[in-house]
Every structure is written in C-alpha cells, then in structure tokens.
Amino acid sequence: MTLAYKKNIQMCLIISAFLLQFHCGFYSFSGSVAPHLKTVAIPLFENRTVEFGIAEELTDAVIDEFSRDNTLKISDRALADMLIDGAIVRVDDRAGAFDQSERVQDMKLYLTVSVTCTDQVKREKLWEERITQWGSYDPSEGADARRNGISEAIEKISQEILNKSVSGW
C-alpha cells in the first residue's frame, strides 16, 4: 500500500466516524424522558374487579419494570417528579381455541387497566390510556394455569406502561 492510499483510508474512517457520531448523536436507546423527570412514584393500583391480589401483583410488576429500566428512580409519591396512577377495571376470560370435539382448549384472559401518567413538577398530564393485554392458559390445568395467564397479561401491561412513560415515540 502506498502512503497516499493509507492516508485516504484514514481520512475516510475519520469522516465516517464523524458522520456516524453526528447522525446518531441525537438518538438514544434509553428513552426520551424530559430532563427534569428523575423519579417516579407508583402507588398501589386500585382494583375494581373481584380478582383477589391482582392490584398488588400489577403494582409490583410495574415497579420492577421501572427498577430494571433505571431511567427513573422509584420514589415516594410526595417527592416524585412523575406519578403513575391506575386502576384495574376489567378481567375477562374468553375461549381462544377449541379442539375437534369443540371443547375449549385454550383460554385468553384479557386484563384492562386505566392508567394516568402525570408530571408532578409541571403539574400536567403526560398521558392517559386504557390498556388491555392478554395472557393465555389451558383451562384443564386449573386455577394455577389461570394465575399464570393473569401474570402474563400483567407482565405485558407493566412493559407497556414503562414504554409509554419513558419513550417519546
């Protein structure tokens, strides 16, 4: 290789690195939370259903998601910059699949939650939505299988709440 060829390659690499940094400099995988939002409070979700223990399970799952993500620190309601407040409004079991004898083979459990996310610093609602997710279970496996369906729906809802709260897209 000639010296001029090596310099051309070096110059191309420098320009490419600069362009890559400039192009990607405005994008982040960590979400796009406003800079003044550093903490979040997640009080116990209200349970408007007859499903026992579901509010505690959902609240714990949402807290775990925010803790894992680490974009916002969990805080007390009075001190938090952001508030995630919600209520479980519906639990609905529906047949998902049937076998050849027309017996229910798979059930879908739909869980609907009403959620509000508030910026407590600026005292404004960031978003408000009814979120419905589902979990599936085999009805022949009994109550434990149904609990697993509830847990699956809760996991999806908690991820959706996190995503809506920390991303701007």
pLDDT number for residue 25 = 42
pTM, rounded to two decimals: 0.79
| Single-letter code of the amino acid located at 169 | W
145 vs 139: CA distance, rounded Å: 7
Nearest to 148 by CA among 137, 140, 132: 137
Angle value at C-alpha 42, between 159 and 90, nearest 5 degrees: 65
- The pLDDT tens digits of the residues spanning 74-127 come to 999 999 999 999 999 999 999 977 787 778 789 999 999 999 999 999 999 999
pLDDT at 6 over 80: no
Domains in the chain (CATH in brackets) are 31-166 (3.40.50.10610)
Average pLDDT score over the chain = 86
Q: Rounded to the nearest 10 degrees, how much is the dihedral formed by the CA atoms of 77, 80, 81, 83?
A: -30
Position with higher pLDDT, 104 vs 20: 104
pLDDT at 2 over 60: no
